[in-house]
Amino acid sequence: MHSLLFISTKRFEIPTFIRRDKMKQRERHEFVLGLIVSGHSDSEVYEICRRRGEKKSTIYDVIKRVRGRGHADRKVGSGRKRTVREPKVVKQVRERIRRNPRRSMRKLADELKISDRSIRRIVHDDLKMKAYKRRRVAGLTAAGRKKRLARCRDHLLRHARYDLERMVFFR
């Protein structure tokens, strides 16, 4: 159980958890945003967050983002750019699968010099396809069906005098 710490500021008391490590980054950013929106100065926000165990650089970064953009979210497109799962490569994979749907993904990865995992992601996530291998199953041939039908009729004739309601027939 977390112990509560009441931090007193000039305006009012704010209940906060001491253990910041249990909070997610987004929750911590929203906490800072809430303090700023409620009218606290940067130094008050800094002091409250320091008592909660936040890192100095994190507090200043979040305050700067909120003051500049009005939110603490990352900029759009600021993450790592895609290097393999680009539209050009996705198109190549789609074409190769269309030409030969029986080609294995491992061989496809070798041909395109891409990792096996990337090919699987392209096929599943980008192309919305599901990879599977056809399995051979025991099936009935036309001759087998005739033989089964003959045996069933034979069975019925042999057991016609018995109670048929107790018998179970499988197809």
Q: Is residue 133 part of a domain?
A: no
Q: Is residue 112 part of a domain?
A: yes
Given pLDDT bands bounded at 50, 70 and 90, which one contains residue 15?
very low
Tell me: pLDDT of 23 over 50: yes
Q: Are residues 8 and 36 in the same domain?
A: yes
Q: Is residue 19 part of a domain?
A: yes
Q: Is 4 helix (H, G, I), strand (E, B) or coil?
A: strand
Q: Are residues 93 and 55 in the same domain?
A: no
CA 11 to chain centroid, in Å, comes to 43
- Mean pLDDT score of the chain: 81
Contact yes or no for 59/49 (Cβ under 8 A): yes
Q: Is residue 121 part of a domain?
A: yes
Q: Is residue 99 part of a domain?
A: yes
Task: Report residue 78 as tokens.
Answer: 């600021």
Task: Report residue 105 as tokens.
Answer: 């993904």
Q: Is residue 106 part of a domain?
A: yes
Query: What pLDDT, on a 0 to 100 scale, did the predictor assign at position 8?
Result: 45
Q: Are residues 58 and 107 in the same domain?
A: no
Domain that holds residue 59: 4-69
Q: Is residue 143 part of a domain?
A: no
Residues 74-130 pLDDT 10s: 888 888 888 899 999 999 999 999 999 988 999 999 999 999 999 999 999 999 998
Question: What pTM, to 2 d.p., does this model score?
Answer: 0.45
Q: Are residues 9 and 63 in the same domain?
A: yes
Q: What total number of domains does the chain contain?
A: 2
| Residues 6+ away with beta carbon under 8 Å from 28 | 20, 54, 58, 62
Query: What pLDDT, on a 0 to 100 scale, did the predictor assign at position 113?
Result: 94
Query: What pLDDT, on a 0 to 100 scale, did the predictor assign at position 163?
Result: 66
What are the beta bridge partners of residue 6?
15
145 backbone φψ class: left, alpha, beta (φ>0; ψ -120 to 50): alpha
Query: What pLDDT, on a 0 to 100 scale, did the predictor assign at position 21?
Result: 55
Alpha carbons 102 and 132: distance in angstroms, whole number: 10
Q: Are residues 46 and 100 in the same domain?
A: no
Given pLDDT bands bounded at 50, 70 and 90, which one contains residue 155?
confident
Query: What pLDDT, on a 0 to 100 scale, did the predictor assign at position 82?
Result: 84
Query: What pLDDT, on a 0 to 100 scale, did the predictor assign at position 16?
Result: 47
Q: Are residues 64 and 96 in the same domain?
A: no
Q: Are residues 49 and 103 in the same domain?
A: no
Q: Is residue 132 part of a domain?
A: no
Number of Cβ within a 10 Å radius of residue 5: 13
